[in-house]
């Protein structure tokens, strides 16, 4: 049995006080199991995904271990490798919250952060360094950082590192770290490449696995739009118009559909681009950057093409096809509704795809509300609750730019519009079911645009003295 009390895990009073102030009553399963092992200085593989409390499961014991001793100039005492800036920043925030009563310092090496302040921190000596692999190697190669003093190394979201092509950099970094160290590897899944990395570099690790929550994010309002396959592309345009969708990622199941869906969107006057699986990651990233910069509004992709790209902040996800693998549904729609914002997800489903939909509803243990669009008419029939779920105030700026594009798109679709036809037997009996949309509260997410204090102010971590 594992303890259900933070007090029994062996953490010092200053950390317990910060945990209490964060409002956490009891450790999550990954915390209850990992914290004592890490405090016992064992290597650890944590198989857990975001949302399980995995970040605190390494941050809390690291604070405890690092609270004795001191960092030397340019020689950080611990290193956390994160695949993305977003995750690195969240992890830094965790150190800030739980380390508020300790005298530890931290630096962050990620793109987009002014480096002067971080360099000054490193020069003074930091206890915690959080970095993305490429940025860290860049600093190492420029002689700005020494890796000989690392006592604890964390490789966070190792499967995502693999997806993003970062594993060679991670291996290089590990091989640069000399001497004795404790290594902690966290990953939501264990693909063979990640397993090999763990086998190679971890020393007799303890493995802790927590159940993968098969749930969709609570900040996403998802609906199904039932269509027939011959109408799918037109319904897609209609959906974009009627639901005021300014930007979205559109997922197709098959590579061959990506191009034709993109062209259909373009013909409707929308700025669409494909994320082609045959392109190099750097080229795909360039397309994604154009999307982020507002030069493209619709990305049409397959699951494979979207893999490895940090597409995490989509306002809307559209499934042009119902994913055949139910876990892909959770993954796809997880790309919206991040950082405290509400996201919307629409899934076009033909009668032939109902069985995939059933598998998704079984996995997620909830029924996805149906939205009935009336194609080609000025009004639409909408399942009232579903409408409420998907309607979201369109931000003023989006409304302005969106209106122009929608006007063009609308002109293009009017030609294609036909009256609603619902061939007998093509609508499932459930299609008119008003599925109550659970009124879910947006979870407290620590990073909704928050700039960690240590970034705003290049002083060491806010170290209030323990009273």
- Minimum distance from residue 416 beta carbon to ligand AMP (Å): 44
Whether 133 and 278 have beta carbons less than 8 Å apart is answered as no
400 sits in which H/E element: helix 396-416
Q: Which is nearer to ligand AMP, 279 or 446 (CB)?
A: 446
Going residue by residue from 393 to 432, which x/- string records binding to ligand AMP, judged by CB under 6 A? ----------------------------------------
Closest CA to 236 of 26, 438, 430, 409: 409
Q: How far is it, in rounded angstroms, from Cα 423 to Cα 446?
A: 48
Question: Cα angle at 168 between 293 and 57, to 5 degrees?
Answer: 80
Find tokens 């969240």 and name the residue: 90
Mapped onto helix, strand or coil, the DSSP state of residue 225 is: strand
- Minimum distance from residue 91 beta carbon to ligand AMP (Å): 8
Q: Which is nearer to ligand AMP, 54 or 335 (CB)?
A: 54
Q: Which is nearer to ligand AMP, 45 or 265 (CB)?
A: 45
Residue nearest ligand AMP (C-beta atom): 55
- Minimum distance from residue 446 beta carbon to ligand AMP (Å): 6
Q: Which is nearer to ligand AMP, 81 or 265 (CB)?
A: 81
- Minimum distance from residue 28 beta carbon to ligand AMP (Å): 5
Segment 20-79, which members bind ligand AMP (CB under 6 A)?
A: 24, 27-28, 31, 50-56
Segment 335-374, which members bind ligand AMP (CB under 6 A)?
A: none
- Minimum distance from residue 60 beta carbon to ligand AMP (Å): 9
- Minimum distance from residue 33 beta carbon to ligand AMP (Å): 13
Q: For residue 441, what are its two tokens?
A: 């509260």
- Minimum distance from residue 63 beta carbon to ligand AMP (Å): 14
Segment 436-465, which members bind ligand AMP (CB under 6 A)?
A: 446
Q: Which is nearer to ligand AMP, 1 or 25 (CB)?
A: 25
Q: For residue 387, what are its two tokens?
A: 């409408």
Q: How far is it, in rounded angstroms, from Cα 382 to Cα 374?
A: 8
CA-based max dimension of the chain: 75
Interface with ligand AMP: number of residues (CB under 6 A): 12
Q: First vs last Cα of the chain: how many Å apart?
A: 34
Helix axis angle for 54-66 and 85-98, nearest 10°, is: 50
Q: For residue 105, what are its two tokens?
A: 């310092």
Interacting residues toward ligand AMP by CB under 6 A: 24, 27-28, 31, 50-56, 446
């Amino acid at each position: 049995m594992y303890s259900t009390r933070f007090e029994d895990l062996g953490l010092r009073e200053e950390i317990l006080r910060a945990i209490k102030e964060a409002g956490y009553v009891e450790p999550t399963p990954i915390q209850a199991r990992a914290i004592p092992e890490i405090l016992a200085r064992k290597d650890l593989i944590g198989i857990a995904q975001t949302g399980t409390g995995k970040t605190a499961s390494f941050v809390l014991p690291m604070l405890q271990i690092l609270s004795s001793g001191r960092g030397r100039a340019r020689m950080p005492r611990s290193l956390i490798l994160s695949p993305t800036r977003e995750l690195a920043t969240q992890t830094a925030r965790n150190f800030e919250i739980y380390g508020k009563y300790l005298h530890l310092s931290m630096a962050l090496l990620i793109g987009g952060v002014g480096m002067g302040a971080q360099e000054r921190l490193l020069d003074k000596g930091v206890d915690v360094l959080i970095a993305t692999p490429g940025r860290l190697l860049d600093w190492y190669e420029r002689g700005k950082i020494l890796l000989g003093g690392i006592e604890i190394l964390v490789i966070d979201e190792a499967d995502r590192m693999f997806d993003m092509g970062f594993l060679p950099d991670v291996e290089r970094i590990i091989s640069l770290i000399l001497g004795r160290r404790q290594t902690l590897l966290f990953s939501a899944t264990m693909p063979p490449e990640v397993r090999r990395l763990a086998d190679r570099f971890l020393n007799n690790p303890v493995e802790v696995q927590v159940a993968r929550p098969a749930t969709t994010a609570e900040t996403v309002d998802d609906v199904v739009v039932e269509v027939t396959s011959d109408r799918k592309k037109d319904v897609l345009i209609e959906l974009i118009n009627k639901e005021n969708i300014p930007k979205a990622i559109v997922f197709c199941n098959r590579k061959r559909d990506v191009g034709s869906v993109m062209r259909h969107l373009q013909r409707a006057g929308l700025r669409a681009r494909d994320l082609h699986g045959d392109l190099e990651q750097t080229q795909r990233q360039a397309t994604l950057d154009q999307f982020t910069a507002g030069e493209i509004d619709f990305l049409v992709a397959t699951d494979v093409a979207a893999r490895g790209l940090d597409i995490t902040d989509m306002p809307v996800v559209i499934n042009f096809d119902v994913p055949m693998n139910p876990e892909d549904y959770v993954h796809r729609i997880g790309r919206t509704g991040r950082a405290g914002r509400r996201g919307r997800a629409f899934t076009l489903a033909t009668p032939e795809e109902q069985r995939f939909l059933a598998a998704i509803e079984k996995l997620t243990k909830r029924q996805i509300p149906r939205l009935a669009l009336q194609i080609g008419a000025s009004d639409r029939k909408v399942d009232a609750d579903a409408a409420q779920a998907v309607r979201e105030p369109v931000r003023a700026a989006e409304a302005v730019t969106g209106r122009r594009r929608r006007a063009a798109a609308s002109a293009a679709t009017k030609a294609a519009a036909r009256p609603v036809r619902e061939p007998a037997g093509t609508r499932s009996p459930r299609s008119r079911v008003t599925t109550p949309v659970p009124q879910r509260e947006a979870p407290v997410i620590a990073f909704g645009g928050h700039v960690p204090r240590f970034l705003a102010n290049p002083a060491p971590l806010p170290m209030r003295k323990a009273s």
